[in-house]
Chains A and B, each alone.
Chain A
Amino acid sequence: DAKTTQPNSMESNEEEPVHLPCNHSTISGTDYIHWYRQLPSQGPEYVIHGLTSNVNNRMASLAIAEDRKSSTLILHRATLRDAAVYYCILRWGSQGNLIFGKGTKLSVKP
């Protein structure tokens, strides 16, 4: 499985933007980039996914490098509720399961 590398932890201030990086230098052409997050004592929840173009939804934006070897999840305005572990995962076309790494633990300070 293609692997991703994320910082173990990051800190942000409330109401400021947050950029969560992910490196995936061995990504293949059929791998999609997925982001999930896990709030304390809850199961993970889907955030966003993309292939080549940048993507936006109500939760976040996903910026994908032109060579696709890295991507950045952008939270435009962090809230205390965004404190969670964020997972960057590669998933190819018809692949069934998701393989989770250790993720980035995001702390948000008031």
Chain B
Amino acid sequence: GAGVSQSPSNKVTEKGKDVELRCDPISGHTALYWYRQSLGQGLEFLIYFQGNSAPDKSGLPSDRFSAERTGGSVSTLTIQRTQQEDSAVYLCASSFRQGYNSPLHFGNGTRLTVT
């Protein structure tokens, strides 16, 4: 079946511009997660949603970052006034529900380059 889909797969933007990254989770998955991975680094947790609400926003690095989820499905991560340090691969994952017994299924990410 279809996995987690992220778009665009690559995005190049100029410093100071806003960008939107989209995630389509697996159908029926109630939990959705955003991570980012800088070149050669580990995964950094950003935010997760249970349904349309975000119980944990603790990983968002600054107020330039925001995310929303509508209809319990698609999620958008928005970065305003991008900076060069925002360059990374942004990964989205979904799971059937939150909790230990629901593995996360990851997309292949959006590679963001800020010039």
Contacts and interface: CB of A to CB of B under 8 A. Distances in A.
A3 B13 CA distance: 36
B100 A102 contact: no
A95 B98 contact: yes
Contacts of B35: 100
Interface residues of A, number: 23
B100 A93 contact: yes
B48 to A, nearest CB: 5
A96 interface: yes
Interface in B21-41: 31, 33, 35
12 contacts: A36-B104, A43-B91, A43-B93, A49-B103, A91-B100, A92-B100, A96-B50, A96-B55, A96-B98, A97-B56, A98-B33, A100-B42
